[in-house]
Chains A and B, each alone.
Chain A
Amino acid sequence: MNDPIIQGIKLSRWYGVVMGLNNIDFQIHPGITGLVGPNGAGKSTLIQIITGQLQPSSGSLKVFGETPWNQPSVLRRIGYCPERESLPEHLKPMDWLSGLGQISGIPRTAFPELGIRLLKRVKLGEAHWKKRLGQYSKGMRQRVKLAQALMHSPDLLILDEPMNGLDPMGRQDIADILKSLAHEGISIIISSHILAELESLCKNVMILNWGRVIASGAKNEIRSDLSQWAEELSVRCDDPQKLARILFDGDHVLGFDIQKEEQRLDFRIKNPSKFYQNWNQILQDSGLIVFEISSKSQSLNQIFNKVTT
C-alpha cells in the first residue's frame, strides 16, 4: 500500500469540556476515502484540523508529512469544500473565484479562462454566471464551492458533506466529477453521515462515532471486521431443527426460521456480544456438521447503522 497522505497519532480535540476527537490513531492513504459517522461524530472537527483551521488539543496530525496549521506548503496541496452553505452573497462567481485564485498564487491573467473552465467542469449553467452568489440555490452553491476547491489543482480534495441538499441528479453529477478527479490521481476525502452515499464511491472508509475511530480501511476489510456485530445469522447444517432447539434453550435467539429443503436455519441473535463469546463452543458441543455460516447483514450501511446507534 502507498504511504499515507494523512497520519493522526493520539489525536484529540476538545471544545471546553466537550470532546470532538478522542485520542485517535489513523492513516489515510491515496484514493477516495469516505469519512462516515452520525452528526457530532467528529468528522468536521477532523476535517478542520486537516485543513489547518483548528489545532489539535493533543497528539499530532501530519498531512503530506507536515503539520497543516499555518503551513502554506500543505495548504497549497489541499482543496477544501466546506459543509456550510454560506458564500459571499454579494459577489458573482467569477469575481469570487478570481479573488480566491489570486490569493492562492494564480496570476490574474489566468482569469477569466480558468474560472470558465472550472464552472463548466462543475456543470454550473452559464446562465447563472452573472448572478450574485446570494441568489444561488443549494445545488448551485455546492457546485461553485467545489469549483473554488479545485482552482489550484490540489493533490488532496476534502469535501465535507458535499451531497447535502442535492437532488438525485445533482448527487450523480458530483459523484461523476469526483470519480473523474480520482481518475486523474487526486486523492479525495469525502464526509457524510449517510454511508450509502459513499459506498459506491469510496475505496476506503473511516467510520467515526463519539470522536473515536470505530473502523478504518478498505470497504471489504471493514465489512469483515464488523461482521462480528451481525445480528442475523444463517447457518446451513445437517440438522437445523436441533440447532434451533439448542439456541432457543440457551436463550440466544429472538426468533428463527427453518428452511428444511436447504437445511438452513436463519435466526436473530438476542445478545450479540454474549452470543459470539459462546458461539464456537455451542457448535462444538452440538456435534452438528456445519456446511456454511453467513451473516445476513451484508450491507456496509446496515453494519454502520448498528455500530453507530
Chain B
Amino acid sequence: MHRLFTRRQDTQAAPPDQGPGATIVALPTTAPAPAPGEDPRDALLASWLGLAEVQGRSLSAWDQEVRRVNDMVEGKVVDLAASFRQLSTAARDQSARIEEIVHLAGQVELDGETAQVGDVVAGMSALLVDMVNNIIQLSKQGMSMVYVLDDVVRQVEEVEGAVGEIDEINRQTNFLALNAHIEAARAGVHGATFKVVAEEVRLLSKTTASLAERIRARVGAVASGVRKGHEVLRQIATTDLSPQLLAKERIDKTLAGLMDQNQRFQDVLAETAALSGRTAETISSVVTGMQFQDLSKQRLEAVLDSMAVLRAGLEDLSGRTRQARPALAPALPEGWPDRLFSQVKLTAVRENFARRLLEGSALDEIGALDPTATADDAGGDIELF
C-alpha cells in the first residue's frame, strides 16, 4: 500500500484558514525541503509522486462518479421516455375522441336515420315557410269565401224578396179571378166564356201560389244553409293567425342561433383536437430528443476510457519512479486536496470523493477520514482531522 502523505519535520506549523466550509485542517502539503545531503531532484520527484497518487485516486473517484451519473441519467431517461410515450398515446386518444365529438356534433338522429344538423335546420325552415304560405293562402281563400257568401246571401235575400212579390201578385191575381167569377155570374149566359177564363185564371193562380210556396221553402232552406256556412266561415276567418306567422320569425332566429352555437362548438373542438395532435407530435419529438442520452453516454464513456488510459499511465510512471527511487515517499503538493474538495458542492459527491481519495492513505491510518462527518447536511463539510 502506498502512503499518500508523509509527515515531515519541516511542514507548515498552522493549518491554513479556509473560512466557511473548510474541509482540511492540517496536511503536510508543502513540498519538503531537501534534507542535508539529499538530492533536490528527489524532493521534486516526491511531489510528483504525491500528485500522481492524487491524480490517480481522483481519476478513479471521477470515473466512479461519471459512471454513477451515466447510470442515473440512463435510468431516468428510460423512465421519462416511457412516461412521455404514455402521454403521447393519451394525447392521440384524446384527439381522436374529440374528432369523434366534432363529427357527432354535426349530426342528429331522426326516426332512426342520421342527418346533418344543417340539413335538419334547412328542412325545418322549409316546413315553416310552407306553414306560413299555407296560412296566407288560407287567409286569402277564407276572405274570398266570405265575400262570395256575402254575395250569395244577398242574392238569396233578393230571391226571397222576389218570391214575396210573386205571392203578392198571385194574391192580386186570385182576387181578380174571384171578381171575374162574380161579374161572369152577373152577366149570366153572356158571361159563360168569361167565367171559364176566370176559373182558369183562378186555377193558375192557385198553381202559382203552390209553386211560389215550394220555391219559398227551397230558397229558405238554401238561405238557412248559406247563412250557417257564412257564420262558420266568419268564425274561421276571424281567427287571427298572425301570432303563428310571427312565431316563424322567432323560430328562425332560434334555429340560426343554434346553428351558430353548434358551429362555434365544432370550431373550438376542432382546434382542441388539433392542439392535442400537436401536443402528441411535440411529445414524440421530446422522446426522440431524449436520445441525446445515448450520445452523451457514448461521449462520457470516451472520456472514461481516456481517464483510464491516463490513470494507467500515471500508475506505470509512478511504479517506475518508485523502482528507481525505492526510498522516496510521495509528498502532496501544497493545497491540492483542499482545492479539489472545495470545488465539489454536493455533499454526497464530496464525501465519496474524499473517501476514494484518502482511503488507504496515511491520513486514513491516523483517522483523518471521519466517517461520522457524512451525517451533517447543513454545510455538507467533511471534517478531516
Q: Do A and B come from one complex?
A: no
